[in-house]
Structure formats: C-alpha cells, structure tokens
Structure 1
Amino acid sequence: MSAHSTTPLASTPLTGFLRGSGPALLLAHGASSDIADSFGPLVDHLADTNTVIAPDYPGSGATPADLEPLTLDSLADRLVHTAVMSGSDQVAILGFSTGSAVAVRAATRHPERVSALILSAGLARPNPRLHLIVDTWRRLARADDQHTLAAYLLLIGWKAAWLDALSASELTALAGRIPPHLPPGADAQLDLLARVDIRADLTEITVPVLLVAGAHDQVISATLTEQLAAGIPGAGLVVLDSGHALAAEQPAEWAGAIVEFLSTVRDHHRTNR
C-alpha cells in the first residue's frame, strides 16, 4: 500500500480516556495489557505537554472483546478512528511492545493522520525465542496458576538488578501487584504478537521515528531492536537502563526522551513551514 493512500477508518472506536492539553499523542499499549499497565505514571508525565489519547484494545479496560481474531489492520484503523473521534485529525503515536507494530501499521495505512512515531520496546517480527516466551505466557494463563504466571511475568519483565535489590517481602509485594487475572482479551492480543510482521511497512514510513529500548529487556531483546532499527534508516535510538517494564523502572527517563523528541519534531516543522 502506498504511503500516500488513504484507508477508510473503522466504524467502532476503542474505549479509553483523554488527559492533558497540547498536541495530540495517541498511545498503543502492549499485548496482555492495558493503558494503565503498559504506561503507568508515564501518562501523567506526558499530559503536561500533550493531549494524551489513551484507548484500550478489545478485551482490555472497558473495550469489549472481539469475537474474531485481532489483526494489525483492524486494530490500527480503530486506534486512529478513536483519535479522530476524540477531536484529533493528526497525531503522534507512542507504541509499546506490540503497540509499536500497531503504531507502524497505523502510519502506513493512515499517513495523512500520523505525524511521528515513538516505538518503545518494539519489534518488526518475533523470533523463535519470543515465540517461546509468548507460548509459555499463554499456557500459564490457560492453566489458571496465577502465582506461577505472576512470577514468570516478573522474571521476564524486570531487569535482574532491579529484582536483586528487593527483599523477599518487597518481591512478594511486587508480584502481588500483578493483576490476579489477565484481561479477557489477553490471549487474542498475545496471539497477535506471535503473528506480527511489519517488515514491509518499515520502508513506507515517512515521518520522524524514535526507538526506545530497555538495555536489559528479556522480552524484546537487543537482536529484535536491531532488526527494527535496521528497517528504519534515520530513526533515533534511546536505550534506557531497564528491562521490558519501562513504565515501572524508568518512567521519568522514558517520558523525557519522548518529550524531547516531539519537541524537536515540532520545532523542525515550524522552521520548514
């Protein structure tokens, strides 16, 4: 699909909230997650300088689950439609993990509506190691062993040094903050993650792009980050001292990188008008 074509928007927006004021910033969360889980305190940081549009995927938050399998196309269309219905005809998109692939697809399907991309803990396509992670995640969720699932998500989500610094009681408390049940749409979202392939989309991106990675991310490894970066010549890269849980470990640093990038993009647009 040409980067200059216009794709009709989906008819049903996602459910979420608006916060802050300023240029529009649309959030795309990770799989088996929701806005609160993927972005946490980052939303308040970003709302100081942006109107944050924060929708949940089908089966997360207050958005009803879909009966059909999720696709990148439909999710990207509904994400952009949600922004338009919120009053924003053009947005920058911040994607986290699976949300980065959704953001890229939104930019290639709706280029007239996307001004910039921030792809955090993103990937172009899962490798066998990530398939194993996702498969184990789904199996534990289906087994309904919440203690083991929480332990697994801790071990893959946070960097080892972060967890090593916690006492036994603090580690137990952190595990206890993981919701006892995944969102109803978690399995469908993880299934989508296993099917993601945006390699062809990357050559069609025409807007400024910032990549944000966790130096100790055990879900989206450095190899996956490098593959994504290689497909987007000219993209900036910020590496944070974090595991996959950027919002828990480095929210201020993550927000700072985003705000600085968006400020630079806007200054460039004003200079070139």
Structure 2
Amino acid sequence: MSLDDLADQLVAAAVTEGLHTFALSGYSLGGPVAIRAAARHPERVTALVLTATFPYRDNHLALALPLWRKLAEYLTVMALGADALEAMPAEQLQQAIGFTAASVADGTPDHAELAHRADVRDDLPHIKAPTLVISTTQDRFTSTRLHHQLAQTIPGAQLVEIHTGHLPMVERPGEWQKLITTFLAQHST
C-alpha cells in the first residue's frame, strides 16, 4: 500500500464517476492521501479539506499507532475530547466504542503501517487548491502542532479550530459539517 497508489486510485474513481474536477476531504490517514492526490493531480482538485490529520508521523503518532491496531476502547479514549468523553452516559460511551471498533477493519494493520511511513511534507508547498485545515483542539491522536504545520506550509491555507478530539463527526457533527460546507461554498467553481 502506498500513498501514490491510493491517491491515484481515488482520482481515478472520481473520474470514472464522471467528475473531472472535484473537492477532496481527508480525515486522519485520509489527509496524507488527499494531500498527495492534490499534489499529483492539481488540475482536478478544486478544494481540499483536511481534518484531524498529519503531514508525517511524529513521535506522538509513532507511539499511538501500535495501539490503534489493538484496542477499540483505547481508540475511543484517544479519539474523544476530554469534555465529550466525560459527558457521555454509559450507553453512549458503548456506542462510541462500537463506532470505533467498526473502523478497525481487516486492513487496519496495513493502514497503521502506511501511517507510520506517510510523509507528505514535500507535497505541501505545491498544493494549489484552496485548503481548509480543521484542527481538532482536544485531539490526543494527531497533534495540533501538526495541524498548524499543515496550515502554515500549504500556500494560502485557512486554519480553523473545533473543540473536539479526533472524532468531530461524533462530538460536534453539525459544527464540523458547517465548517466544511461553508468553506466549499466559498470555493465552488
């Protein structure tokens, strides 16, 4: 599995569906894939939204990745912000663990290994698409420092913060969706 192959497959799938230009959203490990797609196919990517993602594996992520392969409960602790985690009743917490467990698919070890190797720092200055970086401020999985690095290195990137852990679509889905749809409305062609 390689970022180049995944990026090219993503673009090819969109073209097969009749989309010659399109916006891309990359969440977590999908961020480096979306970045690589935008860098390799600038004529196709009209906008880029990056949420809770990273340009390379820092030490924090290196320590978290082996655990990703093993425990849904640990992922839930890592993914949810402290406020959301502590506010959840037991039933909702079990649902969040179930959501996280469902994301631990058969290919998870391969994905964790790819995340360990992923490094798109050289691609960042070449991104031409308008870019929104959504920094999840209570993220214990990907560092907000890396979110800020993305925004500072991608030309003209806009940084916004959402007060969640690694799962803004669980903690604040309406707010997260509004950030994305507002940005895309401003940058639609």
Place the TM-score, normalised by the shorter chain, in its bin.
over 0.9
The equivalent residue for 1:256 is 178
Aligned residues: 189
The equivalent residue for 1:175 is 97
Q: Is the 8 A contact 2:80 2:166 kept in 1?
A: yes
Alpha-carbon RMSD: 1.6
Which consecutive unaligned segments of at least 5 residues does structure 2 have? none
The equivalent residue for 1:125 is 56
Decide which of 143, 150, 175 is 1:221's aligned counterpart: 143
Q: Which has the higher contact order (CA 8 A, sep 6+)?
A: 2
The equivalent residue for 2:67 is 136
Q: Is the 8 A contact 2:31 2:50 kept in 1?
A: yes
Query: Where has structure 1 moved over 6 Å in runs of 4 or more?
Result: none
The equivalent residue for 1:101 is 32
Q: Deviations over 1:75-111 (max 9, x none)?
A: 0000000000111011110110111111111011111
The equivalent residue for 1:43 is none
* Structure number having the greater helix percentage: 2
SS at match of 2:19: coil
CA distance in 1, matches of 2:110, 2:21: 28
Correspondence 1:1-273 to 2 at 5 A: 70-138=1-69, 140=70, 149-179=71-101, 182-266=104-188
* 1:172 Cα deviation from its structure 2 partner: 3.4
TM-score when normalising by structure 1:
0.66
TM-score when normalising by structure 2:
0.93
| Cα gap change, 1:162 to 1:201, in 2 (>3 Å) | same
**Paired amino acid for 2:19:** S
Q: Is the 8 A contact 2:27 2:52 kept in 1?
A: yes
CA distance in 1, matches of 2:126, 2:102: 40
SS at match of 2:101: coil
* 1:131 Cα deviation from its structure 2 partner: 0.5
SS at match of 1:243: coil
Which consecutive unaligned segments of at least 5 residues does structure 1 have? 1-69, 141-148
CA distance in 2, matches of 1:112, 1:98: 23
Q: Deviations over 1:136-162 (max 9, x none)?
A: 223x2xxxxxxxx12101110101111
- The higher radius of gyration belongs to 1
| Cα gap change, 1:173 to 1:259, in 2 (>3 Å) | closer
CA distance in 1, matches of 2:125, 2:103: 38
| Cα gap change, 1:202 to 1:161, in 2 (>3 Å) | same
* 1:255 Cα deviation from its structure 2 partner: 1.2
